[in-house]
């Protein structure tokens, strides 16, 4: 007797690997004391880049890294971050704790990090406080092979060849910290900045407009109406899951009741509505879906860990956050006709991080393990799903207990990622695969005794991926029992 049913059908659509992207801002201990450490810290390093972090991120195949912000991007002046480090100007990071930014991590350091990670750099240019000329010259510095003065500077600074950066953000949150603009004003600004951010030989820029804040549908409407689709590769959208839904008191990362957990998941599932409604507006102006919806800031945002600098946004990461990551990635996979890029905020030591560090120690969060489990979907063919899920009810309200996405890789293997949000009840699911042949199933699961469980420096492997054996072939059907509060990915051969 099954509680849920699923039908999977093959399609021609690809789930872009860029949905699995990451974001790293000059914020708190994300770059400084995260990726980029003191030269005396006793860990393996290249220059000052931590290589244990690089190895962990290579393992999950991060496809892109967005930098330098966030709000920081619109006060960042790229010329401050090149040349001899001792001579680089210092500035105040006004958005994040008022700390002094010494600019030791700049353009060359970021691109060296991207190379070590084997991922595409995604640079967010400064529209809020930078000029059109400044952005234009940054692109020339990066991508031109001419003998212009800025290109000579790049060569003197140690990089003779063009960097070939393609993903290019034109401002960040221009409706807020990026300049408090109206969408009409921003659309005009986008066209100015984008016109002078040139394509150099072999490197056509993929320009991404600063898009809406969560459910600001008017922003999307105005940008789509006023910016020619030929000028814009993508339109970004930012949405954070706040446990309480209240920016003043967001809720704890580690101490919450079932009701609070349930409310958090309601807020997480809002991503489905946001992506659907923004996509519907984009469809009106771009029926061929040429412009990508780029969800380049997402994740759970809680109150900071007690005793830490509130401007550093350092938070622990529990099994709940793993369920949030898996649910959100399922939503993106299922909308991969329009969502072609995304970035979780913010990789190391900030918000929903994949990795936490304490001096030389490092741990992988439950969220990291979800990205490890889900990497099989990168660039795989999307499988269309029809799902009937039981409800999960708390306090008189209900949400679907189960959410799912699935794909078929180039070798023909099918991967089905299932999330059971119910804290106490396992769900048995019966699946029909249309036109897909398979004979064997195996899987991986992430769960733990309590939804509040976390990995700590004392117990770094409390939550990790384990083999899942509760799935079998029954005739033509796949039957699996998904434990309470767990994420399972099945592989069918």
Is there a contact between 28 and 97 (Cβ–Cβ < 8 Å)?
yes
The Cα-based distances of 218 to 23, 190, 257 in angstroms read 26, 16, 36
Spot the catalytic one: 25, 109, 297, 491: 297
Is there a contact between 24 and 346 (Cβ–Cβ < 8 Å)?
yes
Terminal Cα distance for the chain, rounded: 25
Minimum distance, C-beta of residue 314 to ligand AHR, in the bound complex (Å):
12
Q: How far is CA 337 from the centre of its chain?
A: 17
Nearer to ligand AHR, 103 or 378 (CB): 103
Is there a contact between 328 and 298 (Cβ–Cβ < 8 Å)?
yes
Task: Tell me which residue of 436, 479, 420, 437 sits closest to 5, measured CA to CA.
Answer: 479
Nearer to ligand AHR, 141 or 186 (CB): 186
Q: Radius of gyration of the chain from Cα atoms?
A: 22
Minimum distance, C-beta of residue 71 to ligand AHR, in the bound complex (Å):
4
Minimum distance, C-beta of residue 144 to ligand AHR, in the bound complex (Å):
29
Minimum distance, C-beta of residue 168 to ligand AHR, in the bound complex (Å):
16
Minimum distance, C-beta of residue 122 to ligand AHR, in the bound complex (Å):
14
Q: What's phi and psi for 414, nearest 5 deg?
A: -100, 135
Q: Supply the DSSP string of 402-429, one letter for each residue.
A: EEEEEEE-TTS-EEEEEEE--SS--EEE
- Beta partners for residue 124, in sequence order: 169
> Residue 212: how many CA atoms within 13 Å on its side-chain side?
19
Nearer to ligand AHR, 75 or 120 (CB): 75
Nearer to ligand AHR, 54 or 345 (CB): 345
Nearer to ligand AHR, 150 or 351 (CB): 351
Is there a contact between 424 and 451 (Cβ–Cβ < 8 Å)?
no
Nearer to ligand AHR, 23 or 141 (CB): 23
Minimum distance, C-beta of residue 232 to ligand AHR, in the bound complex (Å):
19
The residues, ordered by sequence, that sit 6+ positions from 400 with a Cβ below 8 Å of its Cβ are 387, 389, 390, 391, 392, 421
The residues, ordered by sequence, that sit 6+ positions from 308 with a Cβ below 8 Å of its Cβ are 314
Helix, strand, coil % in the chain, rounded to nearest 5: 30, 30, 40
The residues, ordered by sequence, that sit 6+ positions from 198 with a Cβ below 8 Å of its Cβ are 136, 139, 140, 205
- Which residue in the block uniquely carries the two structure tokens 């930014």? 101
DSSP structure class, residue 325: H
| Rounded-to-integer distance, Cα 34 and Cα 37, Å | 6
Is there a contact between 169 and 123 (Cβ–Cβ < 8 Å)?
yes
Sites of contact with ligand AHR (CB under 6 A): 25, 69-71, 172-173, 297, 345-346, 351
Q: How many CB atoms lie within 10 A of CB 241?
A: 26
Minimum distance, C-beta of residue 348 to ligand AHR, in the bound complex (Å):
13
Spot the catalytic one: 173, 184, 258, 273: 173
Minimum distance, C-beta of residue 23 to ligand AHR, in the bound complex (Å):
7
Examine the residue annotation and report whether 297 is marked as an active-site residue of this protein.
yes
Q: Which positions are annotated as active-site residues?
A: 173, 297
């Amino acid at each position: 007797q099954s509680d849920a049913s699923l039908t999977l059908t093959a399609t021609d659509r690809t789930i872009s690997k860029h949905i699995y992207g990451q974001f790293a801002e000059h914020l708190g201990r994300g770059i400084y004391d995260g990726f980029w450490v003191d030269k005396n810290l006793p860990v393996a390093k290249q220059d000052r880049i931590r290589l244990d972090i690089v190895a962990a991120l290579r393992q999950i195949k991060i496809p892109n890294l967005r930098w330098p912000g966030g709000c920081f991007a619109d006060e960042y002046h790229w010329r401050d971050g090149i040349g001899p480090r001792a001579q680089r100007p210092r500035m105040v990071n006004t958005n994040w704790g008022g700390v002094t930014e010494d600019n030791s991590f700049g353009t060359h350091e970021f691109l060296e990090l991207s190379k070590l990670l084997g991922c595409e750099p995604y640079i967010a240019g400064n529209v809020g406080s930078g000029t059109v000329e400044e952005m234009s010259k940054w692109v020339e510095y990066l991508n031109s092979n001419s003998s212009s003065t800025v290109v000579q500077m790049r060569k003197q600074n140690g990089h003779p060849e063009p960097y070939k950066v393609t993903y290019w953000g034109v401002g960040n949150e221009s409706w807020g910290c990026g300049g408090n603009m109206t969408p009409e004003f921003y659309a005009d600004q986008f066209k100015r900045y984008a016109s002078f951010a040139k394509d150099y030989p072999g490197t056509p820029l993929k320009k991404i407009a600063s898009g809406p804040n969560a459910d600001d549908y008017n922003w999307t409407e105005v940008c789509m109406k006023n910016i020619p689709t030929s000028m814009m590769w993508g339109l970004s959208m930012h949405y954070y899951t706040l446990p309480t839904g209240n920016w003043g008191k967001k809720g704890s990362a580690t101490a919450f009741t079932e009701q609070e957990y349930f409310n958090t998941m309601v807020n997480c599932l809002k991503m489905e509505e946001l992506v659907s409604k923004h996509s519907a507006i984009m469809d009106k102006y771009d029926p061929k879906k040429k412009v990508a919806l780029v969800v380049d800031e997402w994740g759970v945002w809680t109150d900071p860990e007690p005793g830490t600098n509130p401007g550093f946004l350092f938070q622990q990461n529990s099994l709940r956050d793993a369920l949030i990551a898996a649910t959100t990635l399922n939503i993106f996979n299922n909308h991969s006709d329009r969502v072609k890029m995304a970035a979780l905020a913010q990789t190391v030591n900030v918000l929903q991080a994949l990795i936490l560090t304490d001096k030389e120690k490092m741990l992988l969060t439950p969220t990291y393990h979800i990205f490890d489990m889900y990497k099989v979907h990168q660039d795989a063919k999307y499988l269309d799903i029809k799902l009937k899920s039981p409800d999960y009810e708390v306090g008189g309200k209900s949400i679907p207990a189960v959410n799912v996405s699935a794909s078929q890789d180039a070798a023909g293997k099918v991967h089905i990622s299932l999330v059971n949000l119910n804290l106490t009840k396992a769900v048995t699911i019966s699946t029909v695969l249309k036109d897909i042949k398979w004979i064997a199933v195996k899987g991986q699961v992430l769960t733990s005794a309590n939804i509040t469980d976390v990995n700590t420096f004392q117990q770094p492997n409390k939550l990790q991926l384990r083999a899942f054996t509760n799935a079998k072939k029954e005739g033509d059907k796949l039957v699996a029992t998904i434990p309470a509060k767990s994420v399972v990915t099945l592989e069918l051969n």
